[in-house]
């Protein structure tokens, strides 16, 4: 498991560096546009950290490529299969829960498909995504509490929910059994806010 996490961190670092250099941006320029520290950009590019989903979203949006482009090889026109267990584990909970990105599309209209598992008592807090982001999820096992801004939705197995993800939101398992849900995230116009920006050298 550790080896997989290290391999993923290195792969993400290489792609971030490649995208940054392809734009002739310095570390400071990417850090400023993404709203993260220079030290974080350095650590990500060196594969020295497993960045949070929030940090990855900030970097991918700043680069205008979408999150899947940072964790998967460039897509071709042929179909791509992600075998069971091969998805990118981008979140792990303290009790063994996981957020796994299993499939995705490229920018500008990025679609992400996630497989989430939350152990009893686990919670994942997500910061607001880019404007217009939509999330669709369905509970496959157990129950799930979803907080969207001030609204709280309690879902049982088989229930589905659609909401705008451009506000703070969270998924939590308040039950005594494991929760599993599938999540689709649509982020329209990824990187559009940065496409006209030419960072100062």
Q: pLDDT tens-digit profile of 94-122?
A: 999 999 999 988 877 889 999 999 999 99
Q: Which whole-number Å values give the CA distances from 198 to 29, 48, 57, 193, in the listed order?
A: 10, 28, 20, 12
For 123, phi then psi, to 5°, come to -145, 140
For residue 148, the domain's CATH number is: 2.60.120.10
For residues 19 and 63, state if they share a domain.
yes
Residue labelled with tokens 């792609």: 15
For residues 103 and 67, state if they share a domain.
no
119-170 pLDDT, tens digit per residue, is 999 999 998 888 899 999 999 999 999 999 999 999 999 999 999 999 999 9
Most confidently predicted of 60-64, 89-93, 178-182:
178-182
For residues 61 and 99, state if they share a domain.
no
How far apart CA 65 and CA 68 sit, in angstroms, is: 8
Instruction: Give the angle 36-152-118 at the CA atoms, nearest 5°.
Output: 65
**Domain hosting residue 107, numbered range:** 88-187
For residues 10 and 36, state if they share a domain.
yes
For residues 92 and 139, state if they share a domain.
yes
pLDDT at 81: 83
Residue 195 lies in a domain: no
Contact 103, 49 (CB under 8 A): no
* Number of compact structural domains in the chain: 2
Residue 114 lies in a domain: yes
Q: Burial of 106 by CB count in 10 Å (0-12 exposed, 13-18 middle, 19+ buried)?
A: middle
Which among 3, 4, 10, 179 has a CA at the least distance from the CA of 89? 4
Cis peptide before 108 (omega within 30 of 0): yes
Q: How many residues does the chain have?
A: 201
Residue 83 lies in a domain: no
Tokens of 167: 């506000």
pLDDT at 77 over 70: no
Residue 193 lies in a domain: no
Residue 31 lies in a domain: yes
Residue 76 lies in a domain: no
For residue 41, the domain's CATH number is: 1.10.260.40
Can you give the pTM of this predicted structure? 0.73
Residue 53 lies in a domain: yes
Residue 167 lies in a domain: yes
For residues 67 and 143, state if they share a domain.
no
pLDDT at 191: 62
For residues 66 and 153, state if they share a domain.
no
For residues 45 and 105, state if they share a domain.
no
Which among 53, 56, 54 has a CA at the least distance from the CA of 41? 56
What is the 3 state secondary structure string of 85-107? Answer: CCCEEEEECCCCCEEEEEEECCC
């Amino acid at each position: 498991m550790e080896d997989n996490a290290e391999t993923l961190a290195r792969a993400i670092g290489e792609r971030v560096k490649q995208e940054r250099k392809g734009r002739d941006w310095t570390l400071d320029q990417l850090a400023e546009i993404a709203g993260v520290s220079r030290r974080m950009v350095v650590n990500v590019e060196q594969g020295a950290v497993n960045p949070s989903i929030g940090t990855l979203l900030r970097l991918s949006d700043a680069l205008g490529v979408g999150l899947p482009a940072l964790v998967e090889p460039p897509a071709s026109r042929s179909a791509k299969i992600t075998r069971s267990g091969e998805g990118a584990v981008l979140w792990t909970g303290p009790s063994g829960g996981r957020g796994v990105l299993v499939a995705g599309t490229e920018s500008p209209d990025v679609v992400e498909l996630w497989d989430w598992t939350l152990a009893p008592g686990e919670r994942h807090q997500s910061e607001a995504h880019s404007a217009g982001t939509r999330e669709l999820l369905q509970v496959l096992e157990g129950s799930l509490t979803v907080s969207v801004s001030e609204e709280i939705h309690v879902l049982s197995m088989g229930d589905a929910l659609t909401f705008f993800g451009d506000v703070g939101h969270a998924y939590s398992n308040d039950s005594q059994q494991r929760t599993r849900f599938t999540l689709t995230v649509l982020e329209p116009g990824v990187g559009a806010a940065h496409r006209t920006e030419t960072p100062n050298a």
